Amino acid sequence: MSKPVSLRRQRTLLWGCGVVIATWLGARVPGLIHRARQARWTLENQVATLERSREDLTRAVAQEDSAAAIKGVLLAQAPRLLSGSAGPEAADALAGLVTLAVTRGNARLTRTEAIPDSTTRGRLGRAGVLVGFDADVRGLATVLQYLSTGDPVLSVESVHVLVADPSAPPNTAEVLRIELVVRGWFLKEADT
């Protein structure tokens, strides 16, 4: 039969178990506390990232809405712009419009030449044409009036007028040699 354990031994045994448990907890609890803090820090960062993402998404939607509005305004102005989505195409369209104006002014076209122009404003590009023709004063007025009142909107940047034959008899119609630089805007293709 076994002897009953004395009170002193019971206390020593309890103290030993307590020390073992305290040692075990002392080894485990700081790691648990560290992992809990790290998990909390990660969670706070994820919440902050989510909030920033929501704000960015809200801003992106607003920017898409304003981009769509700007595109709508540009497309509404399309009849006032030159056809073509690149400089050479727009210059050809511009040359055609100016040639039509010269024809309506009963003038004789002597030359058309595209002028390189790298001016841009957002999706708008500018094209230019140098046009030479012979006409009288009435023909010049008709050409300038046609260019200033039609669609698309064109701007006459410079006008050079020379008298073709200054020594012509007074009873003959005066022939003028005219050179115009005409410019217009076109809508460029969207960058993809």
In the chain, what are the domain boundaries? 8-76, 80-187
Helices 137-149 and 87-104, interaxial angle, to 10°?
140
pLDDT score of 84 more than 70: no
| CATH H-level, domain 80-187: superfamily | Ribosomal protein S6/Translation elongation factor EF1B (3.30.70.60)
Share of the chain above pLDDT 70, in %: 88
pLDDT of 56 reads: 83
The mean-pLDDT minimum among 71-80, 91-100, 112-121 falls in: 71-80
| Helix, strand, or coil (residue 175) | coil
Using CA atoms, how far apart are residues 190 and 192, in angstroms rounded to an integer? 6
Using CA atoms, how far apart are residues 81 and 153, in angstroms rounded to an integer? 7
Of 142, 139, 148, 137, nearest to 107 by C-alpha is 139
